[in-house]
Amino acid sequence: MDGAVAGKLITEISRGAREVFLQHGGGTHRSGVRMSSAPEIGRDGQWDRSPDAGEKETRLQGKRHGNGTVEGVQKAEEDRESLMMELTRLVQKVVKESSWWERQGIDCAILASAFLSLPAAFLLLRSSEFLLFVLGILVMGIAHAIITIKGTHLASHGSLSESQAWGEFWAVFFIEVCGSFTARAGVTAHIKMHHAHTNILGLGDSSTWRVPFLPRSVYLFLAPLTVPIITPLVALSQLKGHTVFQKVRTVLMVSLGLYSQYWLLIHVSGFQSPASALLCMLICRAMFSLPYIHVNIFQHIGLPMFSPTRRPKRILQMTHGVLNLPRNPVLDWIFGHSLINCHVEHHLFPFLSDNMCLKVKPVVSKYLREKKLPYQEDSYLSRLRLFFHKYQELMVFAPAITELVGVQ
């Protein structure tokens, strides 16, 4: 990829890159109702307002719906609100009955195991035997992916601790030191934009991931390998508007994370040249970049997109605009359940940890199916085929607006 193309790629991704961190059909809904302020489960298992709960006003257009009257529209919307509240109560019950180990301990243990495997990885990279050297790269690549994908995602949601102060510390540590991004931009955009406005055009429509000037094969199979290089550059572009303290902290933390790995490769693993150490860093950091990009586009793009002025109720927005991938023994552990097989649950209750999303999954899926609401699932290969054959439609052209009408 030459310098001009790389620069253009960075510019395109920078345009919406704050959403990085942190991820069909339909009928139409003419009632013009804004998203409700449905309650969610907070970090402590208590009632929290949803991230987008600021808008409580309902605009009724007087169109015939339900029993053919405005009152029918109001009743239908109240029913939708009560569905989200009822589901929240069911999930809250599961959370309250769960131990700390289930709520946070399991995910913290997975992250700790990734850190504990790093010394072995650096020592394996000292070996002159090819298989041991490759094993060292594999261990370091897996550990890096767990820390920078699962860790940064959980930290951005404050799911690693019930303490706000510790939550902020872990966000800076995982996102800036380990993930080479800016914590403020990552947390703010991921929570307040992507989750609050999931699949709302111009807000949380996943357009961050579209790079329309790239050909299909380059985008799907080559461009993701540049993510480790692009991420810190995009982070620098997002520092505008930050305080001086935040700018200095981000630059220092990102530099600390990158230089510490480089220093250890030179002084512990015994790499003889800076170029070889940097190449090893790139290989380890890019090891899971392809599925990382794929997962982020597979679970939202190609599903219904909504207009900001005709957005459905939260439970309809999330059930129509989010998709689960099936269980995968590799990606479940490395990316976390909330990004793979429990993405619907994660968008409905974003402050739950990966393990808790998995625990409430039977409750959520059963409830949605009983209420005849969508519970969308598809395989990784099926989505890859869809995006490969419909790349222009899904990743180049502007998405169509879906409206939900007559959903009872």
- Looking at the fold, whether 164 and 84 belong to one and the same domain comes out as no
pLDDT band at 285 (very low <50, low <70, confident <90, very high): very high
- Looking at the fold, whether 278 and 298 belong to one and the same domain comes out as no
Query: End of a domain among 263, 287, 311?
Result: 287
Query: End of a domain among 287, 311, 346?
Result: 287
Segment 299-311 shows an average pLDDT of: 91
pLDDT band at 397 (very low <50, low <70, confident <90, very high): confident
CA distance 45 to 51: 16
User: Tens of pLDDT along 342-376?
Assistant: 999 999 999 999 999 999 999 999 999 999 999 99
- Looking at the fold, whether 335 and 389 belong to one and the same domain comes out as yes
The yes-or-no verdict on residue 3 having pLDDT over 80 is no
- Looking at the fold, whether 106 and 92 belong to one and the same domain comes out as no
Total residues found in the chain within this entry: 408
The yes-or-no verdict on residue 123 having pLDDT over 90 is yes
For residue 209, what pLDDT is reported? Answer: 85
Residue 233 lies in a domain: no
Segment 87-95 shows an average pLDDT of: 96
Segment 237-263 shows an average pLDDT of: 95
Distances (CA, A) of 375 to 75, 205, 209, 325: 24, 19, 24, 11
pLDDT band at 337 (very low <50, low <70, confident <90, very high): very high
User: Which residue range is the domain that position 131 belongs to?
Assistant: 100-197+241-287
For residue 189, what pLDDT is reported? Answer: 83
Percent of the chain with pLDDT over 90: 69
Segment 257-273 shows an average pLDDT of: 97
- Looking at the fold, whether 107 and 24 belong to one and the same domain comes out as no
For residue 183, what pLDDT is reported? Answer: 94
DSSP helix/strand/coil, 195: helix
Q: What mean pLDDT, rounded, does the chain reach? A: 84
Residue 348 lies in a domain: yes
For residue 18, what pLDDT is reported? Answer: 40
Q: Which residue has the higher pLDDT, 41 or 185?
A: 185
Q: Which residue has the higher pLDDT, 311 or 41?
A: 311
- Looking at the fold, whether 180 and 246 belong to one and the same domain comes out as yes
Burial 139-174 (b: 16+ CB within 10 A, else e): bbbbbbbbbbbbbbbbbbbbbbbeeeeebeebbbbb
Q: Where are the alpha helices (DSSP H) in 97-218?
A: 100, 106-124, 130-145, 152-156, 164-171, 183-189, 216-217
For residue 306, what pLDDT is reported? Answer: 92
pLDDT band at 74 (very low <50, low <70, confident <90, very high): low
Segment 85-110 shows an average pLDDT of: 96
Distances (CA, A) of 327 to 164, 223, 363, 379: 31, 26, 17, 9
CA distance 318 to 314: 6
For residue 28, what pLDDT is reported? Answer: 36
pLDDT band at 244 (very low <50, low <70, confident <90, very high): very high
Q: Where are the alpha helices (DSSP H) in 202-326?
A: 216-217, 227-237, 244-267, 274-286, 289-298, 314-321
| Domains: count for the chain | 2
Q: Which residue has the higher pLDDT, 73 or 81?
A: 81
The yes-or-no verdict on residue 128 having pLDDT over 70 is yes
User: Tens of pLDDT along 166-224?
Assistant: 999 999 999 999 999 999 999 888 888 999 999 998 888 888 888 989 999 999 999 99
For residue 170, what pLDDT is reported? Answer: 96
- Looking at the fold, whether 77 and 160 belong to one and the same domain comes out as no
- When computed from its CA atoms, the radius of gyration of the chain, rounded to whole angstroms, is 22
For residue 66, what pLDDT is reported? Answer: 45
For residue 385, what pLDDT is reported? Answer: 97
Query: End of a domain among 268, 287, 306?
Result: 287
pLDDT band at 225 (very low <50, low <70, confident <90, very high): very high
Q: Of 147, 97, 44, 141, nearest to 353 (Cα)? A: 44
- Looking at the fold, whether 167 and 250 belong to one and the same domain comes out as yes
Residue 205 lies in a domain: no
The residue whose two tokens read 């402050």 is 351
pLDDT band at 79 (very low <50, low <70, confident <90, very high): low
For residue 26, what pLDDT is reported? Answer: 39
For residue 204, what pLDDT is reported? Answer: 81
